[in-house]
Structures are given as C-alpha cells and as structure tokens.
Amino acid sequence: MPPSDLRQMAVVTKYELLKYLRGKRLLIIIALIAIIGILNLVVPPTIGSGYDPDPTTFSSSMLTEIGILIVLCATFFGADAIVSEFEQKTGLLLFPNAVKRHVLVLGKFIASALISVGAVALYYAITVIAVVAIDGSIAANTSLSFLYALAYLFGILAIAYLFSAIFRSSVYSVVLTFFTFFLILPIIDRVGGSIAHFKPWFTITFASGIVLDIFQQPYPVDVVRTVERTFRNTTRTLTVAQYYPSVAQALAVIFVYFIIGLILALWLTKRREM
C-alpha cells in the first residue's frame, strides 16, 4: 500500500527543506539579516546619536525593516514553489506517481513556512539580544510583535503560492510577489491615508502595521484633523489623517488572505495541466 498523505507530506517537506538549506537563497537571507543588524547597531554611535535608552523605542527601530525581510522570505521561498514543477517539467515525474497534488503543495508550503519562520525568528533573536545588552531589559509586547510578524508571513506566503499556481513562468511569479507587497499595496496604503483620506483596512500590508504599532503604549488610534495653510494670501483648509490598523481587524484580514490564497493555490494546482 502507498504511504499515507501525512507521511508523503512529511517527505516532501523534508526534501524541500534540504533544498533550501543547500541553496543560495537562505545564505542571501542570512546575509541580509546580518547587514540590517550591523547597520542598526553601528550607524547610531557612528553618527553620534547613540542608542535609544528606551527598550521599546530601540526594539521598534531595530524591527523597522522586518516587513522587507518577510516579503523577501515569501518571494525567495514561495513565489516559484509550484510553478517550478511545471516550468522545469519535474512534475512529469511526481504527478503520475502516488503523490497527490494537494499533498505536494502543502508539503512545500510547510517547508517554506519553516525556513521563513526561522529567518524571522533569527532577526528577532538578534534584536532581543541587542536590546538586552544595551538597555538591560526586553521591550514589552516583543513576543506579540513576533507572533503578528509570523501571521503576516503566513498571509503573504499563501498569496505567493497563489501567484506561483497562476503563472507559467517563475520570473513573473517572483516579480509580481515582490512588487505587490513591496510597492503596489504600500502605495495604495499611502494614497488612501494621505491623499484620499480613507482607511485601507483591506490590504494585508496595512494590516501588518500591528507588528510595530503593538510597541506603542497605549495602542495608537486613528487621527483625523484639519489644518489651515496660507499660501499667497489664500487660506486653505487641509485634512490630515493618520490611520492605524486595529489588532482584531488586522488579524482577520491576514487570516482571510491566508485562507483564500492557500485554498486557491491548491485548487488551481489540482486543475493545472503540464
């Protein structure tokens, strides 16, 4: 009898992890983590500003680039996970065997999630060690920030898998994944908040704001105010808005992206032909 789906999933996960551990992408991520950490620790004393004595502010400044790291992890370890089987024709060897397509996708997703979680955890560990060594204590809500970062990671990783299931070329999938979360959605967030004055609660990048906002005590709330500006003897009234995602709503939005992305990726992969 063929092995069970769970056993096959474990085998797929194992070999995907080995592929990542032996590849160059993980080395690039580790090098990026080292560069970001070194810059955050070297630049302040170099320019004479020193480190912030408040552990919360110091932790928040160290984690400013965590969103970029998460997007890169999703791009490197998820954007071409499915499309590569069709593009490189390796699926011709896998699909005719007893390995079901949903087992293959879930096994790959688990491997991508594990390697990405390890990268994010490494950067949080560096942050905690630096803050404790310099300020002498851990910032409050660091663990919550880490959990929210993982939730954001799973959400965009599922969308990366969806793009990988849609496109025929890994280049298109990788490029779209990176620019969607690094450029397109952040532009929508900024335009919505600063120009159109609407809260872009529906974007996962806006929801990811809880990763850093959770450090603020009390938790920030939306601020909308009017400001008068005089230009060439003409007084104009401008509306200035600053929006923050609520924790419950942000987690719900991330969960929806995760469920929809993963389910559609499974469905499209099952129906896709070589």
pLDDT tens per residue, range 66-114: 999 999 999 999 999 998 877 766 654 555 556 788 888 999 999 999 9
152-156, 189-193, 251-255, range with the lowest pLDDT: 189-193
Q: By CB neighbour count within 10 A (0-12 exposed, 13-18 middle, 19+ buried), where does 119 fall?
A: buried
Of the candidates 204, 211, 213, the residue with the CA atom closest to the CA atom of residue 243: 213
Task: Give residue 71's pLDDT.
Answer: 97
Task: Give residue 274's pLDDT.
Answer: 58
If pLDDT is split at 50, 70 and 90, which confidence band does 136 have?
confident
Collect all residues with Cβ–Cβ distance below 8 Å to 110 and sequence separation of at least 6: 9, 13
Task: Give residue 59's pLDDT.
Answer: 93
Task: Give residue 271's pLDDT.
Answer: 85
Q: Label the pairing between strands 234-242 and 223-231.
A: antiparallel
Cis peptide before 53 (omega within 30 of 0): no
pLDDT at 238 over 90: no
> What is the distance between the alpha carbons of residues 115 and 27, in angstroms, rounded to a whole number?
12
CB 237 within 8 A of CB 77: no
> What is the distance between the alpha carbons of residues 229 and 226, in angstroms, rounded to a whole number?
10
CB 216 within 8 A of CB 145: no
Task: Give residue 194's pLDDT.
Answer: 72
What value does the mean pLDDT of the chain take? 88
Greater pLDDT, 226 or 199 = 199
- Provide the residue type at 110 as one letter: I
Tell me the C-alpha to C-alpha distance, in Å, between residue 191 and each of 45, 135, 228, 236, 242.
35, 37, 21, 20, 12
What tens digit of pLDDT does each residue of 200-211 get? 999 999 999 999
Task: Give residue 230's pLDDT.
Answer: 67
What is the share, in percent, of the chain residues with pLDDT greater than 70? 89
Task: Give residue 43's pLDDT.
Answer: 87
Report the pLDDT averaged over residues 140-154: 96
Q: What is the pTM of this model?
A: 0.91
44-48, 136-140, 150-154, 224-228, range with the lowest pLDDT: 224-228
pLDDT at 121 over 80: yes
